[in-house]
Chain A
Amino acid sequence: MTPPQSLPLLAIDDLHVTFSTRRGLVEAVRGVSFSVAAGETLGVVGESGSGKSVTAFAVTRLLDASGRVSQGRIRFAGEDITKASSKQLRRLHGAAISMIFQNPRGALNPIRTVGQQIADAIMAHEPISSAEGRARALELLKAVLIREPEKRLDAYPHELSGGMCQRVMIAMAIACAPKLLIADEPTTGLDVTTQKTVMDLLSKITAERGMAMILITHDLGLASRYCQRVCVMEQGKVVEEAQPLALFSAPQHPYTKRLVAASPTATSTIADLAPEALAPSAVSHSPHPEEAAPAAVSKDGLVVSEPPGASFEPKPAASPQDEGSGKTKPAPGTPLLLEVQNLVKRYDRGVVAVNDVSFAIRAGESLGLVGESGSGKSTISRLVCRLIDASEGEILFDGQAIGTLPARDFHRSPLRKDIQIVFQDPTDSLNPRFNAFDCIAHPLRRLLNMKDGAALTARVSECAERAGLPSSLLERFPHQLSGGQKARVGIARAIACRPRLLILDEPTAALDVSVQAVILQLLDRLRREDDLALLFVSHDLNVVRMMCERTVVMQNGQIVEQGESLALFAAPQTEYARTLLEAVLHLGGPTAR
């Protein structure tokens, strides 16, 4: 036996993982090597499809039946576990290596109490009575700082919040004192404030118990704050490995550079997000993404920015955005475009989604609406878009009360074309039976009564090009497009009728950070070109700070604070806004804050 001290706790050497799919073998991990020392926290960062989660599941040998380790070695405490029998693995699982998953609620058995599940985890490795198991479970619940642990012991997962479920998951993972904890996107889907408390808890526990942790995440900010070392993965390979400070201040690999640039920081501007927007790897796009191996498809698969659009409308010269602020401030005298007064939305059973909300947007202005889930921000976007009716309050557009016409009949209103919306999930927002052309042409046909013909075709390709969608893709159906391309179709559709107010409901929440960067730039450019007013709904404070001159902070259906973005972000006036801001992660390593 070699003394374990001299060895890393986990050493991955040239790992390859292949999946057998209908289209043959697909290699999701292509030669990954890294190691983790005992007690160390390693971040593995990458966008979707980078193979980061597959690597984690390969380490714990929990891959789907269709996936297998085809090459390479995984040594845990010196032993190669790629060859371990299922019996040996069972002894490792939980006791030596354990995992924490994304979507904590789904990761718990819905019909078994939390206490029983924690006890199950202990009893899998230690021969103890169920009474002892219960006592140990209680201790663990206390350790993960759950309030009223005695009561929670007999609770079912659905009775707990997402953050509490994740704490329970952590309790189960640490129950048998494993040496290594693998956390796979442990905070994705949780609100920012919850995200912070969960991560703080995780790092406290691993530090106290001397556990090593692999934190798998798409969020550079998260990795930079909580990890001692970070690996960046792209298309199944590790492209760069360094300490967070070094990595983010001086990235070496082009991909890392792009990723770091695209990640919003406390001071970044829209223009900063993709300085190398024309980087060669981003321009190439596969003509048939569905036929190419996933690894070969570039993230967005698209021409990233400007060139084609430049030929349409010359940029207004010497406007403020050229100074890199990314913002235009409408002159103080600009009339109000949208005015929302004392808006209330009640649902059945007395749920009040929006409670007495008032705000206004000037023509050409961009207003950000931020809040955690359940704050009512999405309801407001639908109210303003006149897709649903308010229970009380008024909506004035251009001085006209538009709330008087019921949402059911609003499609007949002449203002219908002036208020358009871009939805959160690009996949969900396109009719699966329409190709990209029809998606974009639909509002033109309905609202401008355009008939099929050269004019319509020209208008559609113009919109597509302005949204950065090559006209060669117009014949494609949604399932043949990448996420970023679908987002562009959605944007092209929304700007087709040249609206005056564009509502953006979390337009980039479902996109990878590098795609988000180009989409944000696109939106910002369109806004300047068309003098569009934006209502930008988002949970991401960094993005709102960059995109909007003014920001409204919401909580539980009410406005907590509103004001100029710069002032609000620099010195929030309310406790809630401060908590929200503090929870935001910025790049720059553990020492940044």
Chain B
Amino acid sequence: MSQLSTTAKRAGWRFASSLPALFGVLVFTFLLMRVLPGDPAVFFASGPSAGKEEIEMIRKQMGLDKPVPEQLLRYLGDIGSGNLGRSLTTGQPVLADLKSRLPASLELTFSALLIALLTAIPLGVAAALRQGSWVDHLVRFICALGVCVPTFVSGLLLIYAFYYLLGLAPDPTGRVDIFTSLPPRATGFLLIDFALAGDWEGWRAAAAQLVLPAMTMALFVVAPLARITRAAMLASLGSDFVRTARSLGLPPRKVIVTYALRNALLPVLTIAGIVFSTMLGANVLVEKVFSWPGVASYALDALLSSDYAPVQGFVLLMASIFVVVNLTVDVLYGIADPRVSVE
């Protein structure tokens, strides 16, 4: 019980200490708007032909004539009330756009993380258990190679192999092919929505579309995860407490799973948090390669057409997700490791 309360305390403390960073991101995105070339008012004007008066009026409306600190306060107020501005390209409020596109990104990221963890942990454990064997060498080779292949290249090569050469994968654009009708939107996660609707054919189609991008992203993070699993497993296999367990004649399974692996998973958990945020970044590349209708490709399109409100919203969204991920990792770590309260 006391462990839970210390975990909660720790999570609270961590949350509080990540607030300055979040605030920093807010200020950063605010400055982003100010520093950006051009007058923001022009972007919000009705069109390129807007007259001087109109722009002047918008400036007043947006408060651009006020001193910068006041503008910052207004901006923070806007964010607090959920007003992230309007996208010029889609004409929609940024918040609405992000909301409708976020599930696509998360579905991709989560499936990739799942694939990566399910591959990396067994690989790392196998390598550590047979250190120096061919399994170990193979895993180390995969790790060395894995971190060198850029995501956008591996994605394109996967398309070449599975779509062009083998014809196994569907046309690599979007979340479903044009012939499948979308399920009623419940969560926005297509796999879940199709399952809820009982449309298993649609589910298969969505899954087929998901496989290649998810694999691409997973490939990118399998290497660091497997590497840390292997190292952590080697460390705990060589530790004094595993030697103790052996000296007491504990069954090998118990020694490996309960004593070695459980301890080895602690650093893996920490790295998984970092890996997740790396994946959020890699989303930009993968979504572009696969024309995936997620938040990252939305922000990228906006960025390239000098539409800055969505970029700002996107950065904020990423910052909030990252705070949530950090908290989750902290809480999990607090549950998994009784020592954390001591530090």
- Roughly how many angstroms separate A175 CA and B244 CA in the complex, as a whole number? 13
Do A106 and B249 touch across chains, with their CB atoms under 8 A apart? Answer: no
**B241/A94 in contact, CB under 8 A:** no
Bound CA–CA A156/B341 (angstroms): 12
Q: Give min CB distance, A55 to chain B, whole Å.
A: 15
B240 interface residue per 8 A CB criterion:
yes
Chain A residue at minimum C-beta to C-beta distance from B251: A124
From B239, B243, B249, B266, contact of A125 by CB (8 A): B249
The answer, among A98, A156, A158, for a CB contact under 8 Å with B248, is A98
Q: How far is the CA of A103 from the CA of B243 in the complex (A)?
A: 12
- Assembly CA distance A91 to B251 (angstroms): 10
A120-B254, A156-B339 known; A107 and B240 CB under 8 Å?
A: yes
Q: Are B263 and A109 in contact (CB under 8 A)?
A: yes
Structural contact, B249 and A169, CB atoms closer than 8 A: no
Flag if A106 contacts B246 (CB, 8 Å). Answer: no
A340-376, CB < 8 A from B: none
Q: Is there a chain B Cβ closer than 8 Å to A121's Cβ?
A: yes
> How many A-B contacts if CB must be within 8 Å?
83
Query: Is A99 an interface residue, CB under 8 A from the partner?
Result: yes
Complex: chain B residue closest to A60, CB-CB: B247
Q: Do A110 and B241 form a contact, CB below 8 Å, given A156-B339, A158-B339, A158-B342?
A: yes
- Identity of the chain B residue whose Cβ is nearest the Cβ of A64 in the assembled complex: B238
Interface residues of B in 321-343 (CB under 8 A from A): 336-339, 342
**Would you give the shortest CB distance from A456 to chain B, in whole angstroms?**
46
Does chain A have a CB within 8 A of B258? yes
**Interface residue A111 (Cβ < 8 Å from any Cβ of B):** yes
Q: A101 at interface (Cβ–Cβ under 8 A)? A: yes
Q: How far is the CA of A110 from the CA of B254 in the complex (A)?
A: 15
Whether A62 touches B262, Cβ cut-off 8 Å, given contacts A107-B241, A110-B241, is: no
Complex contact B241–A172 (CB within 8 A): no
Q: For chain A, residues 103 to 122, give those with C-beta under 8 angstroms from any C-beta of chain B.
A: 103, 106-112, 120-121
In this assembly, does B250 line the interface, its C-beta being within 8 Å of a C-beta of chain A? Answer: yes
B269 part of interface (Cβ distance < 8 Å): no
- CB distance B247 to A169 under 8 Å? no
Bound CA span A175–B248, Å: 9
Q: Does B203 reach chain A (CB closer than 8 Å)? A: no
Q: Which of these, B245, B259, B338, contacts A156 with CB under 8 Å?
A: B338
* A156→B337 CA distance, assembly (Å): 10
Q: Tell me the complex Cα distance, A120–B245, Å.
A: 9
Assembled-state Cα–Cα distance A125/B248 (Å): 9
Chain A 45-83, CB-CB to B under 8 Å as 1, else 0, gives 000000000000000101001000000000000000000
A169 to B248, CA, bound (A): 10
* B248 lies within 8 A of A62 (CB): no
| Residue A93 at the chain B interface, CB threshold 8 Å | yes
- Chain A residue numbers with a CB within 8 Å of B248 are 93-94, 98, 120-121, 124, 172-173, 175-176
Question: Is there contact, CB below 8 Å, between A111 and B243?
Answer: no
A184 to B248, CA, bound (A): 15
Considering the complex, give the chain B residue whose CB is closest to the CB of A86.
B252
Measured CA separation A121–B251 after assembly (Å): 10
- B241 near A106: Cβ-Cβ < 8 Å: yes
Could you jot down 6 A-B contacts, CB within 8 Å? A99-B247, A110-B338, A110-B339, A111-B266, A120-B250, A173-B248
Using CB atoms and an 8 Å cutoff, list the residues of chain A in contact with chain B. Answer: 60, 62, 65, 89-95, 98-99, 101, 103, 106-112, 120-121, 124-125, 156, 158, 169, 172-173, 175-176
List 17 additional A-B contacts (Cβ < 8 Å) besides A107-B240, A111-B337.
Answer: A89-B249, A91-B249, A93-B247, A94-B247, A95-B249, A98-B248, A101-B240, A106-B239, A107-B241, A110-B241, A111-B266, A120-B258, A124-B254, A158-B338, A158-B342, A169-B244, A172-B248
